[in-house]
Structure 1
């Protein structure tokens, strides 16, 4: 019996890993299997010392068409509840991954696809990308928490209430998309970001992400304490000395420009 095709493909290139949503026949609609695979994949990457950065993209013309509601036909409320919990666990695994996680998006992004993108550290999108949150239209509730935290409460309400399509340009202006490039430039932009991340010591990047995430949950005074704790851990590792040597080397002009 032929094994089912994986809903998520893992492509490793040295220290960089690409995670590819792989249900192009369903416009990468999120089903239970994809939720479980995403969670397992990111929990594994979280503890892998050989991984420096993770890029999340998709096969096919759409990044993600949202939750695959077809799998809910004939199911009861208990099943739907467990399915939603599985999706939340998948988003959380992406968000909690200690490595930098960058979404590289092209084409339509709908509902749960937006949740996946917003769970990443930042989003690189082509100018052909669009976003839409139709949850209320389909009689369900979703995207009420991450979306307002990214673009603001009023913008989130307007998009959720109306099912309006948001262009990549608008998403860029509102801060949902961090870098906006032409479709033909997506691969090159991903490579540039991967190269930039790889030049920094792994621990410094990991601690930076951790300090930002923890600091965002508290006030500035406590945030500074979080940063000092990260600095102490970094100092005890000793890898900071290599950065000082690179900066002090007058021949290394490119590093100093960084």
Structure 2
């Protein structure tokens, strides 16, 4: 059986590769738990750099909706909570975090990208955040802190896709590079971030942190727990989308 997450730990650099290429690396419950556990393990072992990638044609097509008929509303709420806990584990890491994305970067995939401190996209990547179509507030404040409140409102309200070039323009992506340059990018990020010792870097991340993790979680739970989540997800699926 193919592992849904490939983890490579070498010289302090932990690389996490989402490995459900047939599903465009959409996040099912098992994959979220695998990534969360791996990130917590890396943090416990004082990793020097966390890198997130996706196998196949896309980085991550978001929340996997393919099994919602077999799940209760409580199951679905818990799945979204666990995604938020994963995002918080990445955000709170004392290690630099790097996302290398390509292809489709949708929904929770954008949240994974946004929470990383260094964000690289391949030309041709496509971004979309449709979560509010089914009333879900996930990663909203973090996204707004990166691109600005007004730009975030426009994107989240209209739920339209945007290009890698637009992501660069709004500072969601820091640079556009082809995947054949990512090994060099990873080495460069690691070298630059080691200019500070561990204590100074921890202090920097702590000072810059918003300290709003509890508010983020409560906002998510409030939106996800509103009655009718499952039907809203089904309605979204009827538009022809498979992941969000």
SS in 1 for 2:153: helix
Of 214, 217, 227 in structure 1, the residue corresponding to residue 207 of structure 2 is: 214
Give the Cα–Cα distance (whole angstroms) in 2 for the partners of residues 140 and 216 of structure 1. Answer: 23
Alignment counterpart, residue 187 of structure 2, candidates 184, 191, 202: 191
Shift of 1:183: 4.0
Give the secondary-structure state (helix, strand or coil) at the position aligned to 2:176.
strand
Q: Which residue of 1 aligns with 2:148?
A: 152
Counterparts of 1:1-258 in structure 2, within 5 Å, are 4-49=1-46, 51-138=47-134, 140-198=136-194, 200=195, 204-205=197-198, 207-217=200-210
Segment drifting more, 5-14 vs 90-99: 5-14
Between 1:54-63 and 1:75-84, the stretch displaced more is 75-84
For 1:130 and 1:158, the matched residues in 2 are separated by: 17
SS of the aligned residue for 1:66 comes to: coil
Distance 2:210 2:60 in 1: 29
- Measured in 1, the distance between the counterparts of 2:60 and 2:165 equals 19
Tell me, in whole angstroms, the C-alpha distance in 1 between the residues paired with 2:207 and 2:193: 21
Q: Which runs of 5+ in 1 are unaligned?
A: 219-258
> Structure 1's 41 and 183: CA in aligned 2 closer, same or farther, altered over 3 A?
closer
Cα deviation for residue 206 of structure 1 reads 5.1
Give the match's secondary structure for 1:145.
helix
Tell me how far apart the structure 1 counterparts of residues 127 and 82 of structure 2 sit (CA, whole Å).
23
Where does structure 2 lack aligned partners over 5 or more consecutive residues? 212-244
Q: Secondary structure at the match of 1:73?
A: helix
CA distance in 2, matches of 1:52, 1:211: 15
1:140-189 deviations in Å (ceiling 9; x for gaps): 44332221111112211221222211111111121111122234323322
Whichever of the two has the greater Rg, that structure is 1
Contact kept? 1:98, 1:210, Cα under 8 Å: no
Change (3 A) 1:97 1:73: same
Larger RCO: 1 or 2 (CA < 8 Å, sep 6+) = 2
Counterpart secondary structure, 2:50: strand
TM-score normalised by the chain length of structure 2 = 0.78
Q: Is the 8 A contact 1:133 1:143 kept in 2?
A: no
Check 1:205–1:105 CA distance in 2 against 1; reply closer, same or farther (3 A cut): farther
Q: CA 1:106–1:206 in structure 2 vs 1: closer, same or farther (change >3 Å)?
A: farther
Give distance in 2, aligned partners of 1:205 and 1:167.
36
Size of the alignment, in residue pairs?
211
2:144 and 2:151 in contact (8 A); partners too: yes
